[in-house]
């Protein structure tokens, strides 16, 4: 059995590269993620991220290149082609929308949904994605605070920055975390720091680069440099 794309009639609605396998989609997603930091991505980095061997990656890069989803030059690294980029964004859109669904409708904790969303992101039906989007009332961020691309691949525009760069004594909203480990997410939950939480920086302790926060319920919270490092915020009035 081959998993074929289920949208038959409407060519306009067929997502970019509907004929990709789960594995190919995962590679594209991986290359997308790594491309956030560097222009071109090395075979070795991908192998590390995908937990596979370099030779397997080379094989896959050839396949993806043949399908036009990446720009690949031997020994020179790889970047996403325009259509590969669109595909990656589409997968990320699905992943994040499903995460919202799992948390907001099925009452999962935000640190429990990643693995399930890894499976759901490969379901092929753009009508499904768009209806899910509508059902969830067009969320712009997932439970981790990551932005959700819209139908056309546009990321929501928003201004967020590392907590370390935030001004003191102004109300901030936690918009995103940049670490997905169970340990980190459980810590945040325990301290009631969640996406959407509001707080002020009351003090920056230079000695260990830690922060003293004041939460919206007037309680205080001390967080280490290591934690602050993985928190993004925006200013709220």
Partner DNA sequence: AATTATTTTTAGACAAATCTAATAATTATA
Partner DNA sequence: TATAATTATTAGATTTGTCTAAAAATAATT
The site for DNA (CB under 7 A) is made up of: 1, 21-24, 42-45, 51-63, 72, 74-77
Q: Which is nearer to its own copies, 98 or 199 (CB)?
A: 98
Residue with tokens 């994605």: 129
Task: Give residues 16-75 in contact with its own copies (rule: CB under 8 A).
Answer: 22-23, 26, 50, 52
Q: Which is nearer to its own copies, 92 or 120 (CB)?
A: 120
Residue 120 binds which entry of its own copies, DNA, none, CB below 5-8 Å type-dependent? its own copies
Residue 55 binds which entry of DNA, its own copies, none, CB below 5-8 Å type-dependent? DNA
Point out which span in 69-77, 88-96, 106-114, 164-172 binds its own copies (CB under 8 A): 106-114
Residue 103 binds which entry of its own copies, DNA, none, CB below 5-8 Å type-dependent? none
Q: Which residues bind its own copies (CB under 8 A)?
A: 1, 3, 6, 22-23, 26, 50, 52, 102, 105-108, 115-116, 119-120, 123-125, 127-128, 131-132, 135
């Amino acid at each position: 059995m081959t998993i074929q794309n289920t949208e038959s009639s409407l060519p306009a609605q067929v997502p970019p590269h509907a004929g990709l396998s789960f594995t190919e989609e995962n590679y594209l997603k991986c290359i997308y993620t790594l491309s956030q930091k560097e222009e071109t991505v090395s075979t070795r980095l991908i192998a590390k991220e995908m937990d596979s061997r370099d030779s397997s990656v080379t094989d896959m890069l050839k396949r993806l290149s043949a399908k036009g989803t990446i720009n690949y030059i031997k020994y020179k690294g790889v970047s996403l082609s325009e259509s590969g980029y669109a595909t990656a964004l589409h997968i990320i859109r699905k992943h994040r929308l499903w995460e919202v669904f799992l948390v907001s409708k099925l009452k999962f904790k935000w640190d429990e949904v990643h693995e399930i969303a890894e499976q759901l992101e490969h379901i092929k039906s753009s009508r499904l994605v768009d209806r899910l989007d509508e059902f969830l009332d067009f969320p712009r961020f997932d439970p981790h605070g990551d932005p959700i691309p819209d139908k056309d691949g546009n990321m929501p525009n928003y201004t967020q920055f590392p907590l370390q760069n935030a001004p003191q004594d102004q109300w901030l909203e936690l918009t995103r975390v940049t670490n997905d480990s169970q340990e980190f997410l459980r810590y945040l939950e325990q301290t009631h720091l969640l996406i959407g939480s509001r707080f002020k920086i009351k003090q920056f302790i230079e000695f260990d680069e830690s922060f003293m926060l004041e939460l919206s319920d007037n309680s205080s919270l001390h967080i280490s440099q290591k934690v602050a490092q993985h928190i993004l915020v925006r200013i709220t009035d």
